Structure formats: structure tokens, C-alpha cells
């Protein structure tokens, strides 16, 4: 059975103008991502992967080309409409966690639901459930400075999932973590993918990219290669020992 197309990019270009110079950050990017794919975006500094991530996340719009997200062309929406799309359709996981320091884990996870206009009791119930799903049921009232790096990233994952978005965008999610904690977070993303979520992972680490089922490599604003990953790393490869608690 063919899975539905969640993302379709057609001839996406993104140019920036600095004085009289034109910086061609993206040049004719066309690709499709289907429901429940696990995709890694890779490329050296200046390859355009961050620019592409911003467009996929509706944080920026292309200079030309179309971006269809769940059947809607979002490439020409204004800022308010883009903000609404982001809140409903996209869950973000950042390298720096982006948690509010004075808010508890539960309150941080509830934020997207506040923006979505969800009632307080429902917000609390959904946020609690999201934290349970990332194995943090005993840390809901802790603030970020009372959590380890891995726990903070799990809170960020719960926040990304709480609105049941169409896609999860993970931007260098293990960049600030040690190797053991990185394995924990990738194990968590593996669990999330198995539950049916679509994940797009931006990373510069080959070992992290190999957890994805498809690897897209960018160079100079173009797709250099787009291949199925024939050597997928799973938690079973870590000597059969799961580090996810």
C-alpha cells in the first residue's frame, strides 16, 4: 500500500541578497517525503541543509518553487499562517533544547497546546501523557536546571509530540549530548518512528544519520544524493543493551 505524501518540494530555490551579491543557498531542490519515513539530511557547512530545514519547518519561505505540506501549498503563506501551520503540523527538536528555564517540564510541554487554544485540563492531560511516553513521568514538576542533558532533550521531544504533528524535525538533536545520552535519544526517536511518526533529522554525524532509513546529502544548495540506508543502526546493535530507561 502506498503511503501518502506528507512533503513535496518542487524546484525550491532560496536566494539571499547581500549588497550586490546573490547567495544561492538552495538551488532547485525537489524531493518527496512519505508518511512514517525516517529521513536524515546531511551536508557540510554551507551546503544549504539549515536553509532547507527552515523551509521545511515553515520558519522561512522559498524564493521560488512550491512546498506542499499535507496537500497545502505553504510556500506563499504569510507569517501568521505559517505560525499556525508550524503549531499544528510540525514538532521541533533543537540541539539547544529551547526550554523555558523557569517553567517545569510539564509547563514546557504544554506550551504548544496553549498556542493552539486547548483548555487547561486537557493541556495538562496531554502533556503528562507526552512526558510518560518519553519515560519522564517522575520528572514532570522539575525545571530544566534540575534535569540532565538527556532528560532536557526528552522534555523537548515530548513538547514536539504533544500536538500530534505530521512531521518531527530534529535539528542536531544529539549535538550537545555525550555518546551514551545520544544513544538514549536516538533510541527514543526510533520508538517514535515505530509508532508511525514521520521524522526528518538534520545531522553532520554519520553514526547518527545511520539511524535513519533514508539519507539525503546536500552540497552547494543541491541534492548530491538521495539513497535508502542499507546499513540502519538500531538499539539492538548496541550489544543488545537498551540505554533508554
pLDDT in tens, 55-93: 999 999 999 999 999 999 999 899 999 999 998 899 999
In the chain, % of residues over pLDDT 70: 96
**What are the tens digits of pLDDT across the range 164-175?**
898 999 998 888
- 19 domain-assigned: no
Considering all CA atoms of the chain, what is the largest pairwise distance in Å, rounded to the nearest integer?
57
pLDDT of residue 244: 40
Residue 208 and residue 181: Cα distance in Å, rounded?
12
- 221 domain-assigned: yes
Q: Are 47 and 35 in contact (CB under 8 A)?
A: no
Sign of the CA dihedral running 19, 25, 27, 28: negative
- 63 domain-assigned: no
- 108 domain-assigned: yes
Q: Is the pLDDT of residue 239 over 70?
A: no
Please give the tally of structural domains in the chain. Answer: 1
Q: Is the pLDDT of residue 243 over 60?
A: no
**What are the tens digits of pLDDT across the range 138-184?**
999 999 999 999 999 999 999 999 998 989 999 988 888 888 888 88
- Residue 235 in grid coordinates: 538499539
pLDDT of residue 234: 84
Residue 84 and residue 91: Cα distance in Å, rounded?
12
Residue 243 and residue 187: Cα distance in Å, rounded?
8
By residue range, what is the domain housing residue 193? Answer: 36-57+76-237
pLDDT of residue 2: 74
Q: CB-side exposure of 136: number of CA atoms within 13 Å?
A: 33
pLDDT of residue 110: 95
User: φ and ψ at 241, to 5 degrees?
Assistant: -100, 125
pLDDT of residue 142: 97
**What are the tens digits of pLDDT across the range 192-237?**
999 899 999 999 889 899 999 999 999 999 999 999 999 998 877 7
Q: Is the pLDDT of residue 242 over 80?
A: no
CATH assignment at residue 135: 3.40.50.300
- 193 domain-assigned: yes
- 120 domain-assigned: yes
- 152 domain-assigned: yes
pLDDT of residue 1: 61
pTM above 0.75, yes or no: yes
- 69 domain-assigned: no
Amino acid at each position: 500500500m502506498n503511503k501518502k505524501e506528507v512533503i513535496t518540494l518542487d524546484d525550491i530555490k532560496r536566494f539571499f541578497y547581500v549588497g550586490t551579491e546573490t547567495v544561492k543557498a538552495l538551488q532547485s531542490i525537489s524531493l518527496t517525503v512519505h508518511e512514517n519515513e525516517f529521513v536524515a539530511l546531511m551536508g557540510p557547512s554551507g551546503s544549504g541543509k539549515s536553509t532547507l530545514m527552515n523551509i521545511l519547518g515553515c520558519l522561512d519561505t522559498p524564493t521560488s518553487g512550491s512546498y506542499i505540506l499535507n496537500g497545502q501549498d505553504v510556500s506563499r503563506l504569510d507569517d501568521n499562517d505559517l505560525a499556525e501551520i508550524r503549531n499544528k503540523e510540525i514538532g521541533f527538536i533543537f540541539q539547544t533544547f529551547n526550554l523555558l528555564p523557569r517553567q517545569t517540564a510539564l509547563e514546557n510541554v504544554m506550551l504548544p497546546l496553549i498556542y493552539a487554544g486547548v483548555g487547561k485540563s486537557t493541556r495538562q492531560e496531554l502533556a503528562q501523557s507526552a512526558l510518560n511516553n518519553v519515560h519522564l513521568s517522575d520528572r514532570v514538576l522539575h525545571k530544566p536546571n534540575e534535569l540532565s542533558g538527556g532528560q532536557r532533550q526528552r522534555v523537548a521531544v515530548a513538547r514536539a509530540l504533544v500536538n500530534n504533528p505530521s512531521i518531527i524535525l530534529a535539528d542536531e538533536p544529539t549535538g550537545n549530548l555525550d555518546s551514551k545520552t545520544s544513544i538514549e535519544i536516538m533510541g527514543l526517536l526510533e520508538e517514535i518512528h515505530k509508532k508511525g511518526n514521520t521524522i526528518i533529522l538534520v545531522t553532520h554525524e554519520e553514526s547518527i544519520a545511520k539511524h535513519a532509513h533514508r539519507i539525503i546529502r546536500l552540497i552547494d544548495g543541491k541534492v548530491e544524493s538521495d539513497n535508502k540506508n542499507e546499513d540502519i543502526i538500531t538499539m539492538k546493535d548496541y550489544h543488545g543493551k537498551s540505554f533508554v530507561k
